[in-house]
A and B are shown apart, each in its own frame.
Chain A
Amino acid sequence: MKRRNFFERVLLGAAALFAPRWARAQQMDQSMRELASVVLPGSLGRARIEQIAGDFLVWIRDYRAGAEIASGYGHPRTQVTGANPSEHYAGQLSALGSPVSREAVERAIAAAKVDRIPQRPNGRHVATDLLAFFFNSSEGEDFLYDAKIRRDDCRGLGDSAKRPEKFL
């Protein structure tokens, strides 16, 4: 076999192996952006909404099932994180169709019997998990209070006596 043929075959093999995964990731990315444009506040602006959708996908990717949970007082035993909440997201996103409509999201939330935005994404439904991800984030808090509190940043002591600037 000529060297060139050999490398072509290797590349084609690798593409066959990774293409479905890549295609699935692309599909998830697209669907998440569509969902975000329906469920997140439009006043954030399109660029921010897309960014949040992307951040949520990164959060899902980096989630570790079975990791020790932070335990303060009142938790004398070790607890661990549950399964990745995104396990059923692909199916849920697919069921919403494309383009994602508000009606489809409302029907899905009702079918999943979710009544409140959870404290953290819990896998009940991707739409409410995305809301949980945003509204419980530092950026979500800043957006609600319209102030750049930046709770996740190390901000120094110098400005702590001043009211934070407006967020929007």
Chain B
Amino acid sequence: MTVDVPADLSPELNFDTLPPEVRQLKEDARRFAQETVKPLVQQLDQAPAEDFDWDVMRRGHEIGLTRAAVPTDYGGLGLGMLGVATALEEVAAVCPGTALVFGATMLGQAPLLLSGDPRLQARYLPLFSGDEPVLACNAVTEEDAGCDLIIPANAPHARNVMTARRDGDQYVLTGRKRFITNARFAAFASVFANMEGSPGATGLTSFIVPLNLPGVVRGPVADKMGYRACLGSELEFHEVRVPAENMIGGEGEGMPINMAQSNMARAAVAGISTGVARGALEQAVAWAGERVQGGELLRRHQFTAAKLADMTAKVDAARLLYLHAANTVDTQLPPPAYEPAVAKLFADRAAVDVADAALSLVGARGYLRSYGVEKMLRDAYGTRIYEGTPEVLALTITESLYAEDDAE
């Protein structure tokens, strides 16, 4: 699989020298994670499902985490997925849930970024550059339709998909979305609905929907196993009237837009998974460096050393893959499917494997909630689900292996 990236556009391809502005955000994100999030991480994890810490968001917003991908003309950092992914790794190494609040906001912005529509962009993107943090969300998943809305071949078979119908200069949206990160507080959602009369999801269409419109109901927050610092909930749309100009890309063009945004997001989510793995590794390294058994530090026991080495290799490999994927996504439109899928598949597996190994190394203490290792394992399982399960990613990767080169 070759990628045609002009060499002079990608001096950072050696991955040792990130662009200075990306490096700056990464350093800011590391400081934010260590100084603001880390002291609160246990509290964020063990609070009731509905609790949300706006002070943490405010600090993240101050360094630009809510607008890293927003063009500079609208007050953003204009950094692309390389900036987003590297920053999210830093935050996820401490608290993946906090990282996902910012990641989901970026995903909510993605259709706007792809729209190229100056009116829509001017209306919604500056929201993220104010004094207070503003969140966005992306509403795809439904009760009966998960993979059916992200695999084109499944679209005709999708059932009970949220509908849209044109009525004058408006679209009327009706239906219900599930498992929507940030839905509780988002200012707007990127919503995907099927044009009335189109079978399954073959008329899938993308809309920007302000969540203060009449008929929008924010449902209850899901009580999740991990990622507890971010809130996932339902969104109900009861005959919600959306201006026609809020449609993105044309009627029935939602599936490719959804795939394009997913390909962008997967590079960033691979950064989160890498962060989860790194966070677990750091805890294991600290423990093995101080714990003495048999008169020796654990790290000097060969079994432990082998485990730590294996974990480290997985983290490093995951990072290289997501940096490559993010760089690829940042230099090609439409965003390619292959590199982000490979990066996410590998990083998700690394997160679970490394967190599992870390828990094993830390032993009984790793099983305690107070040590935080078990939290990383719980979070690792979450990363493996959203933005493409291993099964979906495998289909995407395999399809790329058999795809003919673009002949245009």
> Do these two chains really belong together in a complex?
no
